[in-house]
Chain A
Amino acid sequence: MATPRKIACSPKIGDYHILTNMLVERCLGYETMLVPPMTKRTLELGARHSPDMICTPFKKIMGSFIEAAEMGANVFIMPGAGCRLGFYDVLQKQILSDLGYDCELFVLFDYFPTATRLFKALKEVNKDLTQDAFDTVFYTAAQIAFDMDSLSDFMRRHMGFEVTKGTFEKYYDAYLKEAPLAQNADEAKAIGLKHKEKLESIPINKPKKPVRIGMVGEIYDLVEPFSNCYIEKWLAEHAVEIVRPFGLTSMPDVIFNVENAIAKSGGYVDYNIGSTANEVIAQAYQMMNDKIDGIIHVKPASCSPEITAMAILQNMAQDHETPIMYLTFDTETGEAGVHTRLEAFYDMIVMKGAF
């Protein structure tokens, strides 16, 4: 019997799936597909087939994978590393197999996300992969990751003030479409620069002292808008400058540079509290010292590192007199409740009278 065609897909975590799909296409020669857009059905499927007490991103990704399997995907890419995330793949494979899907889970890293380990993992599948060929793909993807993070950061800071609504999103989508066409890092860089100029040329009407709100928390709920009920979109519609330095390119620091994060937390934490939580504390401390107007902390239900971070943030917020709001997202979270709380938080900041 002939081996079935390999069709790979990555979970949707913000827009970073374009990078992982690219790695697998170019290094393993697999065909790739996008997971279908997340809907209520995705959440229901995920919740039904996942352990109840597992963190919410698992359920959302599980639902996406089941929907992709229905459409013919048979290789699922997981990043590995991090917290419980590092163990997701084992369980995902078991659940998919119980549902009757014969599939592979491809894990990019076994705990430490380094280029060497990534090359090793890919080489195990494709014996013909050379170091040179891998390097070209890796540095292209890395360049795109840096550009995505810096362009989207620029967008978040300015999209609330665009003259024609929707321009930033439209331009950024155009970048996301073009970026994966790059064949090497130089091409990726050129595409990034071209779109940076385009984004910077969008007419905006930004006041001298706009409302600034910082976003910190667990990475999946921070970068995946469907997951956080489109908080950033809501804030932009209310002319808020969104400060969210966190992205994929922060992850190497999160894992290899914990000491640095601890050093930057103003004495609020003095040992490693796990996963992204150290970085969250350091970023919030920086934001408060920059006199940010308010901070929103997001986390999925049952995320233990972020629960630890919340207690520390509470003390920090009191000392700096900076309001902070905590939002927890589950597969059952209703948008109306989130928007009520966002509006109240926003009103509170605006009514303080500085604007």
Chain B
Amino acid sequence: MKKAYLGIDIGSISTKGVVINENKDILASSYLWTMGNPIQAVKNVLNELCEKMDSSYTVVNAGTTGSARKLIGVALGARVVKNEITAHAVGTLSVVPDVKTILEIGGQDSKIILINNGVVMDYAMNTLCAAGTGSFLSSQAKRLDLELDSFADLALTSNNPAKIAARCTVFAESDLVHKAQIGYSKADIVAGLCRAVVLNYLNNVGKGKQIKAPVVFQGGVSKNAAVVKEFEKELQLPVHVDDSGHLMGALGVAVLCKAEKEETPFDFNITEVNFETKGIECTQCPNNCEIICVLKNNEMIDAWGNKCERGTQVQ
């Protein structure tokens, strides 16, 4: 039996899965939209991975990361349930061992990870505000009636990016409308937006951090060549975007699974199991804890969210 390890990254926008062997080579990968239904998205990812994978391998450990990591971790009986920051760092290090800076802009959050000699030294993540993340770009693309794919191409044609306020999404949007109304071309506005995302990121997330080469840029927004170009211009450093950059979180948990001493064999038949989640609001006190119950074939396997003993009665 050849051993394999499964990592799944369930983000707000997309769900990613990889299977690796003992040499950390990727045997199969999958990248699908979450579309507001993480459980179904994971089932689809698992089906795709199962088809692509060589049947001589057996998955001996599974792990999850991303914002739905807890829910999916429970449903799959994952051995590793890890935050996105650690997962991304571990995944990237296994591909680019000498990386010093990881820039990451996802659908809803953005982070920076600083690495020295293969060890994470510092990190930061956006806090109160989602300005300058992927969801901002996609909502602005919609406003301008552009497909996300053509967005970057159009931005790259501009020689005169419009100056757009970068501090806050709301101001950026009113600025964008203003620039359009006074006659800037769509290309200049789109290029200005890409630049605003970069400046926002560097001012909020990268604030005060020393960004050193090699720089790796990940997350959905890294697929936007215009944003990459703006980063290079601003940092005066080459910015590396890997084709499999979107898989680094999933790869990271798979690598962490490999490092586990114990094994919990994983069965792909889980896609046929019926999982249901129920959100209950506890009414025992005014805190109204939101209790999440996970049901596997109508049987409760786990619940969380209550902060005191009173909540257990509600479950």
Report B140 CB to chain A, min CB distance, Å: 24
Q: Which residues of B contact A270 (CB under 8 A)?
A: none
Q: Does A133 contact B (CB under 8 A)?
A: no
Q: Does A127 contact B (CB under 8 A)?
A: no
Report A286 CB to chain B, min CB distance, Å: 20
Q: What is the size category of the interface that chain A forms with chain B?
A: 20 to 34
Enumerate chain B interface residues (CB-CB to A < 8 A): 82-86, 89, 119-125, 127-128, 207-208, 210, 285-288
Closest A residue to B90 by beta carbon equals A351
With A348-B123, A351-B120, A352-B119 in contact, do A39 and B287 touch (Cβ < 8 Å)?
Answer: yes
Q: Does A40 contact B (CB under 8 A)?
A: yes
**Across the interface, do A40 and B123 meet the contact criterion of CB distance under 8 Å?**
no
> In the complex, how many residue pairs between chain A and chain B have their CB atoms under 8 Å apart?
66
Report B187 CB to chain A, min CB distance, Å: 36
Enumerate chain A interface residues (CB-CB to B < 8 A): 37, 39-42, 301, 311, 314-315, 317-318, 321, 323-328, 330, 340-341, 343-345, 347-348, 351-353
With A328-B127, A328-B128 in contact, do A323 and B122 touch (Cβ < 8 Å)?
Answer: yes
- Interface CB pairs A-B, < 8 A, 15: A37-B285, A39-B285, A42-B286, A314-B208, A321-B121, A340-B83, A341-B125, A343-B86, A344-B83, A344-B123, A347-B82, A347-B83, A351-B86, A351-B119, A352-B120
* Cα of A37 to Cα of B122 in the assembled complex, Å: 36
Closest B residue to A340 by beta carbon equals B83
* Cα of A37 to Cα of B286 in the assembled complex, Å: 10
Q: Which residues of A contact B119 (CB under 8 A)?
A: 351-353
With A323-B122, A330-B128, A351-B119 in contact, do A39 and B286 touch (Cβ < 8 Å)?
Answer: yes
Residue from B120, B210, B286, B288 in contact with A318 in the complex, judged by beta carbons closer than 8 Å: B210
* Cα of A348 to Cα of B120 in the assembled complex, Å: 6
Closest A residue to B119 by beta carbon equals A352
Q: Which residues of A contact B286 (CB under 8 A)?
A: 39-42
Q: Which residues of A contact B287 (CB under 8 A)?
A: 39-41
**Across the interface, do B121 and A323 meet the contact criterion of CB distance under 8 Å?**
yes
Closest A residue to B285 by beta carbon equals A39
Closest A residue to B287 by beta carbon equals A39
**Across the interface, do A343 and B83 meet the contact criterion of CB distance under 8 Å?**
yes
Closest B residue to A317 by beta carbon equals B122
Q: Which residues of A contact B85 (CB under 8 A)?
A: 340-341, 344, 347-348
* Cα of A348 to Cα of B86 in the assembled complex, Å: 7
Closest A residue to B208 by beta carbon equals A314
Report B99 CB to chain A, min CB distance, Å: 15
